[in-house]
Structure 1
Amino acid sequence: MPISPSSPSVVLSAAVMSHPDRRACAQRVLDALALPGAALALDPDPDGPPSSLRSSQVAFSLAGAAESTHHLVLQDDVRLSDDFLESVRSAVESHPDAALALFVEWGSRTACLARWAVFAGAGAVPVINPYMPTLGMVLPRELAVEMGAFMQGADGRSDDRAALAFLRGRGIRTLATVPNLVEHRELASLKGNGEHGARHAVCFAREGARFGAEVLEVPPLLPFLRWNTGTAVAVDPADDVPESHRPLLEVLVEWGATEPELRREFREGGFPGAVGEIAADGASAGEGADPLFDTWLTAVACGAVQERHWPGTVAWLRDRWDEPWVVRALGTFAPGALRLFADTERLVARAEESAPAVLAAMEYGTRFEGVGPPARPAGKPVVPHGPRP
């Protein structure tokens, strides 16, 4: 297998996991990958119940026959960035011992961190989802072989939860690259979770990326929109169970806001018009929830926390409007949060319009004091030295 002269220490092997009925989709990914020795990993029990575990087990086990340092596994419904292999090698060089996810779903907990990483200049974030994103993942070769064996005995239908259990059990650092190097195409799910709505990348680097070694520090509070109920909550990453989630409105009031003030700013600040009317299409929001207002509250709280931990970086975003990754990270905010409560295609089409509205909500949030001590000295915005377009 050829070794890139720019990355002599990283030699990749790869597999594309799929179902025999979707072999053509997997072959398209394999052709785009253009990596000698890369192989298809087809479900060995195609008539069994929907599950990504079986093809995942094959995909990771293929590392055993490879002469590589790291093994890459892709699912058959991905789109790759330009300059993909060099981008992956760059990420692996920066974090050679970690399990690296190349995708972060736009409405997930880890997406909160990924946007802050884009804004603050980090090239990776810890995975804080209750699963490991497996749409695209790269591991040290020996670890991939072990994961293949683990998947063979795992229960359930989901390779992503099994992968996280395996990695956490072995104390392996789980990171996601920011920006993302794969995008999700809308095909039927291998594991039968199509009811989750459209799942796109939080910030897809279609032009490829190079990565630095800095990993974003996780703040003690995450503003999060529960995409399945349309309710905004504050999540403690160290105690992330539903019982510990707090209503985000309640938290913002503790930080100095008032509910009448927040509702007035929401109405008058242009967010509803920029994002669009809600069209639920049968999805039911949580009791008393207003998904559009709660999405705005989440953006406000994200601005508050960002200003507290990376002072000056919210105001600085207006000067960085020519950076495509900044606009993309802002533009996926509303679609990721509202995908079950609005026309996702329309929201994506209006991303350029919604991105300034999201930023305006974040700027409004900087007047409130977020939780925890600042991660940076006040008045010294971070100069991005991680990924750059």
Structure 2
Amino acid sequence: MTVRPQGSVRPKLSVAVMTHPARLAAAQRLREQLSAADTTGATVTIACDPAPHEGKATLRSARLAWRQAGADVTHHLVVQDDVLVHPSFLAHVADSVARHPDHALSFFTEWASATAAAARIGALRGDSWVPALDHYVPTQALALPVAIARQVDAFFAPLPLTVPDDEAIHDLLARNGVPALVSVRNLVQHRDTPSIIGNSYLGLRPGVCYRSDLAESGVPDGPILDVPALLPYFSWWDRAAEFRLWNVPGQMEWHSRPITELLDAFGRNPAGPGATASAAIARLAAARPDDVPVPDTALSDLWAAAFILGLVAMTGTDGSIADALARPEAQVSLHTLAPGALRRLADAEELARWADPLADFVIDAVRAGAAVDLPKEFPEHYRSVHRSCTRCDVTAQFGQLALEALGAV
């Protein structure tokens, strides 16, 4: 289900570039770039960490950046110093704010986040925005209504410096009931620079759907993806695929289970997801003379996540999967699924060499998932007590909720 945007205001922006003394020169270049190309009349300032000697933290510079909201503006935008922007960026932000004046708007999410999984669903369906679905709101380029922006400093002040600013923003927005949206087209790209706060161990974190020509064109005036009741997701940290359910009875948050539990609903038949995954892995192995840089178990999970992605994206739509896959946002975002998901299993150079075969692998899985008929219930052989499940007593019950979320029952 999608929601059409509502409302239109004439926005007035102020902008702060959030930085650290070690990257002040980069922040100054970014400020100059934004100011030189601006057509909105925005004032662009720099917010540099005032006390870097007190240890690694984002809260100090974030507090300063949000304090710099202009006196007579409707919205305040904070960008981080390590993003790549295009000359038309601020004009596109103003357009987006005019369409969604009461929302927090983020113009980036990294390629392996849960929000990125939603963005891929949105890309296939033709949506322009998706809800932020992680335990944080991406702050690489975030615009807030000024009334909320002015609350940030006081909200952050009592927090331990170990709290990341993106998690703190998430909590502030939740407290105020402000929805956070992320653009399917990422309008900024995260540069590959050493992390000031020690996040380099997380690996490369570019955008889920960034391409120069798309970023230059801005965010289309399109629908918002409704919160998907079921989200297929490859956890890059756990190196395994899972599905997440929202609104499990008695719970008020996402709950995750191994994606194999959902796939089992399709039964063990020759045409099932497992069989098609095996054939696809064999085709992938033949695509290059060198060995695939990740184990078959990870590829099977990658296939499963993409398979359910195709199923979820196309359920309830009238369009064809061919038309969905032809959308440039779908092409870009599906190409980023494998390298983001597998980044703890192979180095970036290996994954880059395999980028095109892995993208074909993912797209084949999406196409296969879009073509399946939904089962009505979990098979009888899987209706057994799953002792490791702390959220519910019977695994089949959880899987049945997943099928209901898809509208199969």
Question: Which residue pairs with 1:173 in the alignment?
Answer: 179
> What's the offset of the Cα at 1:266?
2.2
Structure 1 residue 223 and structure 2 residue 232: aligned?
yes
SS at match of 2:338: helix
Once residues 331 and 107 of structure 1 are traced to their aligned partners in structure 2, the CA distance between those partners, rounded to angstroms, is: 12
Give, as a single letter, the amino acid of the residue that structure 1 aligns with 2:206. H
Once residues 405 and 252 of structure 2 are traced to their aligned partners in structure 1, the CA distance between those partners, rounded to angstroms, is: 23
SS at match of 1:139: strand
Give, as a single letter, the amino acid of the residue that structure 2 aligns with 1:122. D
> What's the offset of the Cα at 1:192?
2.3
Which residues of structure 2 form unaligned runs of 5+?
A: 1-7, 375-401
1:186-197 equivalent positions in 2, closer than 5 A: 186-197=192-203
Once residues 243 and 138 of structure 1 are traced to their aligned partners in structure 2, the CA distance between those partners, rounded to angstroms, is: 25
Deviations 1:10-61 (A, max 9, x none): 1111001111111012122212212452111000111122111110000000
Structure-2 change in CA distance of 1:216 and 1:52 (3 Å): same
Structure-2 change in CA distance of 1:272 and 1:10 (3 Å): farther
Once residues 52 and 270 of structure 2 are traced to their aligned partners in structure 1, the CA distance between those partners, rounded to angstroms, is: 53
> What's the offset of the Cα at 1:253?
1.3
Question: Which residue pairs with 1:28 in the alignment?
Answer: 29
Question: Which residue pairs with 2:207 in the alignment?
Answer: 201
> What's the offset of the Cα at 1:202?
0.5
> What's the offset of the Cα at 1:274?
5.5
> What's the offset of the Cα at 1:310?
2.9
Would you say how many aligned residue pairs link Structure 1 and Structure 2?
Answer: 358
Deviations 1:282-330 (A, max 9, x none): xxx9xxx922221111111111222224354423235x2xx43221111
> What's the offset of the Cα at 1:374?
6.4
Structure 1 residue 235 and structure 2 residue 244: aligned?
yes
Counterpart selection for 1:324 from 323, 328, 345: 328
Structure-2 change in CA distance of 1:123 and 1:261 (3 Å): closer
> What's the offset of the Cα at 1:263?
4.0
Once residues 274 and 13 of structure 1 are traced to their aligned partners in structure 2, the CA distance between those partners, rounded to angstroms, is: 50
Once residues 244 and 18 of structure 1 are traced to their aligned partners in structure 2, the CA distance between those partners, rounded to angstroms, is: 35
1:353-368 equivalent positions in 2, closer than 5 A: 353-366=357-370, 367-368=372-373
Give, as a single letter, the amino acid of the residue that structure 1 aligns with 2:276. E
1:221-300 equivalent positions in 2, closer than 5 A: 221-238=230-247, 244-258=255-269, 261-269=272-280, 270-272=283-285, 277=291, 279=293, 290-300=297-307
Instruction: Tell me which structure has the larger Cα radius of gyration.
Output: 2
SS at match of 1:137: strand
Question: Which residue pairs with 2:341 in the alignment?
Answer: 337
SS at match of 1:112: helix
Once residues 237 and 103 of structure 1 are traced to their aligned partners in structure 2, the CA distance between those partners, rounded to angstroms, is: 23
RMSD: 2.7
> What's the offset of the Cα at 1:236?
0.9
Q: Are 2:127 and 2:223, in contact at CA under 8 Å, matched by a contact in 1?
A: yes
Which residues of structure 1 form unaligned runs of 5+?
A: 1-6, 376-389
Question: Which residue pairs with 1:144 in the alignment?
Answer: 149
Question: Which residue pairs with 1:4 in the alignment?
Answer: none
Give, as a single letter, the amino acid of the residue that structure 2 aligns with 1:120. R
Question: Which residue pairs with 1:123 in the alignment?
Answer: 128
Q: Are 1:51 and 1:191, in contact at CA under 8 Å, matched by a contact in 2?
A: yes
Q: Are 2:122 and 2:128, in contact at CA under 8 Å, matched by a contact in 1?
A: yes
Q: Are 1:104 and 1:110, in contact at CA under 8 Å, matched by a contact in 2?
A: yes
> What's the offset of the Cα at 1:259?
8.9
Give, as a single letter, the amino acid of the residue that structure 2 aligns with 1:13. S
Structure-2 change in CA distance of 1:177 and 1:261 (3 Å): closer
Question: Which residue pairs with 2:389 in the alignment?
Answer: none
Structure-2 change in CA distance of 1:120 and 1:242 (3 Å): closer
Once residues 277 and 27 of structure 1 are traced to their aligned partners in structure 2, the CA distance between those partners, rounded to angstroms, is: 45
Structure 1 residue 210 and structure 2 residue 219: aligned?
yes
Give, as a single letter, the amino acid of the residue that structure 1 aligns with 2:223. E
Once residues 80 and 277 of structure 1 are traced to their aligned partners in structure 2, the CA distance between those partners, rounded to angstroms, is: 37
> What's the offset of the Cα at 1:106?
0.7
Structure-2 change in CA distance of 1:180 and 1:230 (3 Å): same
Deviations 1:59-92 (A, max 9, x none): 00000x4432111101111111452112111211
Once residues 93 and 244 of structure 1 are traced to their aligned partners in structure 2, the CA distance between those partners, rounded to angstroms, is: 34
Q: Are 2:266 and 2:272, in contact at CA under 8 Å, matched by a contact in 1?
A: no
Q: Are 2:234 and 2:301, in contact at CA under 8 Å, matched by a contact in 1?
A: yes
Q: Are 1:252 and 1:368, in contact at CA under 8 Å, matched by a contact in 2?
A: no
Give, as a single letter, the amino acid of the residue that structure 2 aligns with 1:133. P
Q: Are 2:49 and 2:61, in contact at CA under 8 Å, matched by a contact in 1?
A: yes
Deviations 1:206-235 (A, max 9, x none): 232133252102221111111012111111
Once residues 94 and 168 of structure 2 are traced to their aligned partners in structure 1, the CA distance between those partners, rounded to angstroms, is: 25
SS at match of 1:47: helix
SS at match of 1:290: helix
Q: Are 1:90 and 1:211, in contact at CA under 8 Å, matched by a contact in 2?
A: no
TM-score (norm 2): 0.80
Give, as a single letter, the amino acid of the residue that structure 2 aligns with 1:251. L
Question: Which residue pairs with 1:105 in the alignment?
Answer: 110
1:308-323 equivalent positions in 2, closer than 5 A: 308-318=315-325, 320=326, 323=327
Give, as a single letter, the amino acid of the residue that structure 2 aligns with 1:221. L
TM-score (norm 1): 0.84
Once residues 342 and 373 of structure 1 are traced to their aligned partners in structure 2, the CA distance between those partners, rounded to angstroms, is: 34
Counterpart selection for 2:52 from 46, 55, 73: 46
Identical-residue share of aligned pairs (%):
34
Give, as a single letter, the amino acid of the residue that structure 1 aligns with 2:144. L
Give, as a single letter, the amino acid of the residue that structure 2 aligns with 1:234. F
